[in-house]
Amino acid sequence: MKILVIDGQGGGVGKAIVSALKQSMPDQPVIGLGTNVQATTAMLKAGADYAATGENAIRYQCRSADVIIGVSGILHANSMMGEVSPAIAAAVSLSEAEKILIPLERCGLRIAGVGVQSLDALIREGVRMVGELAGQTER
Q: In this predicted model, what pLDDT tens digit does every residue of 42-78 receive, in sequence order?
A: 999 999 999 999 999 999 999 999 999 999 999 999 9
Q: How many other CB atoms are there within 10 angstroms of residue 94's CB atom?
A: 11
DSSP state string for 18-78: HHHHHHH-TTS-EEEEESSHHHHHHHHHTT-SEEEESHHHHHHHHTT-SEEEEEGGGGSTT
Compute the distance between CA of residue 91 and CA of residue 79 in angstroms, rounded to an integer: 14
Residue 16 has pLDDT above 50, yes or no: yes
Domain extent listing, the chain: 3-133
Q: In this predicted model, what pLDDT tens digit does every residue of 103-114 receive, in sequence order?
A: 877 666 777 777
pLDDT-above-70 percentage for the chain: 96
Domain 3-133: CATH architecture, name and number where available: 3-Layer(aba) Sandwich (3.40)
Structure confidence at residue 137 (pLDDT): 58
Q: How large is the average pLDDT for residues 114-133?
A: 87
Residue 139 has pLDDT above 50, yes or no: no
pTM to 2 decimal places: 0.90
